[in-house]
Chains A and B, each alone.
Chain A
Amino acid sequence: MNCKVAVEFIHQYLDGELEGNQHEQLKSHLNQCDSCMKTYEQYERTDALAKYTLQSSIVSERSTADATKLRQSILAQLPTKHQTKSKARFVRWLYRYPGLTAAAVFIAVMIVSLFASWDQDSKLIISASQDDLQHVVIQGNTIIVPEGIELTGDLVVENGIVEVKGAVSGNVTVIDGKMVLASTGHIAGQSKVIDQALDWFWYKVTSSFNEVIPQ
């Protein structure tokens, strides 16, 4: 390897783009060539210093108050469109705790919705594991399990329509909504549609207990 190629390899290495055997070739050249070794060290330090400089100095200058103020001006300038009820908070809530197991998410959602459901009766609520949630498609108040997708856990939807085109290994429960099972769809567990308030209440109480007490 000549020095010109070696310098090119050094750049690629620092870009994270060097292939496995090129790595070995570069290494053996650097061990023999002091000049390229020096270039390598200098480039490495250049990168480190540039990253440090560009990343660190802004954070300390910027106060949370500045950020809050900017956020407010951004949102205030938006032209008003037709507004819908927000589902974002719930989606984010589920994403924020990726470490939770499906069961834990399930319980938490049950508890939250048990308290929330009597006064906010039209809010779309979906409860599923983190992994499963990534695969469902939300269109308005319709939750679609797309064809070719298999959900591994349970799916519970309140105030919405569930369209199962793919497969669900667990149970599917729809509370105050509708379930549509497409010809391609398959639910391995139980599927239930609950409409009556009392059924709903008992369903929640018993399912929460089932989840809380390990069997």
Chain B
Amino acid sequence: MNLLESQLVKLALKGDQAAFAELVDLYQEKLYHMAYRMLNNRQEAEDVVQDTFLRVYNNLERYIDTMKFSTWIYRIATNLCIDRLRKRKPIYSLDAESSEYEGLDGYSMIPSDNRTPESELLLSETQRIIHQAIDSLPPKYKTVMILRYIHELSLQEVGDILDMPVTTIKTRVHRGREFLRKKLEYRL
């Protein structure tokens, strides 16, 4: 249990705005990264983060100390992302070269100074495949993979966030890994 965070929650509950701002500072960007990976859209990711903190603020009384604060806030944020994904038209086709998604441009950000053009191309192509593969996953797999790979959360933590048994998370991580391996196979 993180004592700093639970102290901040207690202070925020009493109306201490600066304490709440501390919690924002601790989680805002982590949540943004997660939401951006889930939704592949900056505006939507920011909306989710904003909405998450509003919900946290309005539900501070309901926060139970036995759960880690991080688990609670990630749970709220992932649920908001999953809701948004479900409302979208399913576009989980594997080769969709979707131009409406900004997220696929991430690979262009690799520092170019110490890479040869060939290796850069290879790496960016590999990254593009990974982005596409993860985007093509149904939300329940996508969430698990993103929480695991972005924040390197333990299986137990991912299970707590998604309110699912660890065995389920384990199966999804294994299947997700195999799915990615198949997509990357000839590059590995």
Contact = CB atoms under 8 A, between A and B. Distances in A.
A78 interface: yes
Contact of B152 (A11, A51, A86, A95): A51
B17 A86 contact: yes
Interface stretch (B22-30, B73-81, B83-91): B22-30
A16 B166 CA distance: 13
Contacts of B10: 138-139
Nearest to B150: A54
Contacts of B154: 16
Contacts of A11: 170, 173-174, 177
A14 B16 CA distance: 43
Interface in B39-81: 46, 49-50, 53-54, 57-58
B94 interface: no
B185 A84 contact: no
A89 interface: yes
Interface string B149-161: 1101011000000
B130 A73 contact: no
Given A54-B146, A87-B19, A74 B24 contact: yes
Contacts, number: 144
Contacts of B4: 91-92, 95
A16 B170 CA distance: 11
Size class of the contact patch on chain A: 35 or more
Interface of B: 3-4, 7-8, 10-11, 14-22, 24-25, 28-29, 32-33, 36-37, 46, 49-50, 53-54, 57-58, 106-107, 109-110, 126-127, 130-131, 134, 145-146, 149-150, 152, 154-155, 170, 173-174, 177, 180-181, 184-185, 188
Given A56-B106, A58-B37, A62-B32, 20 more contacts: A11-B173, A16-B154, A17-B155, A42-B188, A45-B188, A46-B180, A49-B127, A57-B106, A57-B109, A67-B28, A71-B25, A74-B49, A74-B54, A78-B17, A84-B11, A84-B14, A86-B16, A87-B11, A88-B22, A89-B18
Interface of A: 8, 11, 14-17, 41-43, 45-47, 49-62, 67, 70-71, 73-75, 77-79, 81-89, 91-92, 95, 134, 138-140
